[in-house]
């Protein structure tokens, strides 16, 4: 367990599914050429992915 904390393994394990989801939905690379347009493309695609995740996320309700 110590090596996982030292190497950041747990964080990478959490990020890898997000990157995979990004590539499946958006594609493997950016289509824009300039930095400004790439930044716009990334912000638009991130907002779209976040919206899709919000629509598919379950709401948990405590029943007492």
On whether the CB atoms of residues 30 and 38 are closer than 8 A, the answer is: yes
Counting Cβ atoms within 10 Å, is residue 49 exposed (0-12), middle (13-18) or buried (19+)? middle
Counting Cβ atoms within 10 Å, is residue 12 exposed (0-12), middle (13-18) or buried (19+)? exposed
For residues 13 and 1, give the distance between their C-alpha atoms in angstroms, rounded to a whole number: 14
What's the pLDDT tens digit per position in 21-49?
Answer: 888 877 888 888 999 999 998 899 888 88
What mean pLDDT do residues 45-56 have? 84
For residues 45 and 32, give the distance between their C-alpha atoms in angstroms, rounded to a whole number: 13
């Amino acid at each position: 367990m110590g090596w996982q904390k030292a190497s950041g393994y747990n964080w990478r394990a959490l990020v890898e599914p997000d990157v995979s989801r990004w590539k499946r939905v958006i594609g493997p690379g950016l289509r824009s050429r300039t930095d400004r347009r790439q930044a716009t493309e990334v912000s638009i695609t991130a907002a779209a992915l976040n919206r899709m995740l919000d629509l598919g996320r379950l709401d948990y309700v405590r029943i007492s």
